[in-house]
Amino acid sequence: MGRLFVVSLEGKVYSCKHCRTHLALCEDVVSKSFHSRHGKAYLFSKVSNISLGEKEDRLMMTGLHTVADIFCVGCGSIVGWKYETAHEKNQKYKEGKSVLERVKIAGPDGNNYWINHESQVGGSDADDA
């Protein structure tokens, strides 16, 4: 596969909770109102130090989307997903953006987020954007 290069981000950073690899900057948060099977999630305009899984169609709370899972390049953990295609016209703003699940990342202050056991189990997507 070749040599792995990890980019160090400067500023307030969200990182992988397992290996602390930098994933995104606070300034790249588009929305904090997203949800996943494990609780809250954040939509980012760009993320770093990730690899993408296979594209697949998923029926989410806001309709059908073509997405790819996001893996941390440091440890290989799934940390979220990337929107490749939104099939609903009013969801097109998500295309090319990525979602990181809070339970799988460490916040800019270094704290881990934990699973909210009252969180909704089901499809994953935003309540409102």
Token digits of residue 58: 């998923």
User: For the chain, what are the domain ranges?
Assistant: 13-106
Amino acid found at 50? I
HSE of 29, CA atoms in CB hemisphere, 13 A = 17
Contact 98, 14 (CB under 8 A): no
Token digits of residue 39: 């609780």
Q: Using alpha carbons, list the distances in angstroms from residue 38 to 6, 9, 79, 102, 117.
A: 27, 26, 11, 8, 8
The secondary structure of residue 26, as a DSSP letter, is G
Contact 14, 111 (CB under 8 A): no
How many Å apart are CA 24 and CA 15, to the nearest integer? 7
Q: In a structure prediction context, what are the per-residue pLDDT tens digits for the chain, which is 129 residues long?
A: 566 789 999 999 999 999 999 999 999 999 999 998 889 999 999 999 999 999 999 999 999 999 999 999 999 999 999 999 999 999 999 999 999 999 999 998 877 765 544 433 344 454 333
Greatest pairwise CA separation for the chain in angstroms: 42
- Choose among 66, 50, 27: nearest CA to 100: 50
CATH superfamily of 13-106: Peptide methionine sulfoxide reductase. (2.170.150.20)
Rg of the chain on CA atoms, in Å: 14
